[in-house]
Amino acid sequence: MSGTNLDQMLDKSIAAYKVDDMTTASKLLAQVIKQDPNNERAWLWLSGIVTTDARTAFLCKTFTCNKS
């Protein structure tokens, strides 16, 4: 999948998040991460959806991605 398509999917996930549709947001974010495991924006937004325990791991992944 091209970067443009991933960006569009990420934008749709953020829009879903903003209207409190966490199911759609998390599914789209998971698809983005599957295609681009180092997408720090996707990890960051996903950290806002998950439980506290998972949030820490996702934020750590965000910082790891940012080192690249």
User: Per-residue pLDDT tens for 9-68?
Assistant: 999 999 999 999 999 999 999 999 999 998 989 988 988 887 777 767 766 776 666 665
Residue 28: domain span: 3-66
Question: Cα(27)–Cα(18) distance, rounded to whole angstroms?
Answer: 15
Give the CATH number for residue 51: 1.25.40.10
pTM of the model: 0.75
The closest alpha carbon to 42, from 67, 16, 62, belongs to 62
Domain count, the chain: 1
